[in-house]
Amino acid sequence: MTFIGLPFVVRTVQPVLEDLESELEEAAVCLGANRWQTFCRVIFPPLMPAILTGVALAFARAVGEYGSIIFIAGNMPMVSEITPLLIITKLEQYDYAGATAIASVMLGASFIILFAINLLQWWSRRYLDK
């Protein structure tokens, strides 16, 4: 899933890195900041929302992945079962209530994760504006 999700992170972080002004890094060095301080206080704060967005996109892609997981990991019960496969199995057995329950749990988990990411981005914007 890393290879499938990594492009989402790269595509969200790359424009932010390109827009970062190198003068900010030079100013930090001139003011006596070492590399770690420059990264933590100058480079990382503007990157954090982009990284979180990329991770959320990659996670959403990974949660819904079906084909590559079945192809690579197989379908061993209680070992390599994935949620989309369980939903399809329930649908093939005409267990619509079971499929709906699994999908509802995944939907709820996705909403909670997106809410947490939005809260973290809101907090970081509020913290950085001070």
Greater model confidence, 127 or 42 = 42
**Residue 104 domain boundaries:** 66-130
Q: Helix and strand tally (H, E) in the chain? A: 7, 0
Q: What is the pLDDT of residue 104?
A: 93
Rounded to an integer, what distance in angstroms lies between the CA atom of residue 77 and that of residue 25? 52
Same domain, 32 and 77: no
Q: Are 24 and 33 in contact (CB under 8 A)?
A: no
* Range scoring the smallest mean pLDDT among 70-74, 91-95, 105-109: 70-74
Q: Which of 112, 102, 101 is nearest to 82 (CA)?
A: 102
Confidence bin at 102 (pLDDT 50/70/90): very high
Look at the alpha carbons of 85, 91, 95, 97 in this order and tell me if their dihedral is positive or negative. positive
User: Of the residues 63, 78, 110, which one is the last residue of a structural domain?
Assistant: 63
pLDDT at 50 over 80: yes
**The pLDDT value given to residue 73:** 64
Residue 5 has pLDDT above 80, yes or no: yes
Query: Does one domain contain both 92 and 42?
Result: no
And the tokens for 111?
């909403």
Please tell me whether residues 47 and 78 are part of one structural domain: no
Tokens of 39: 């990264």
> Model pTM?
0.67
Exposure string over 66-94, b if 16+ CB within 10 A, otherwise e: eeebbeeeeeeeeeebbbbeebeebeeee
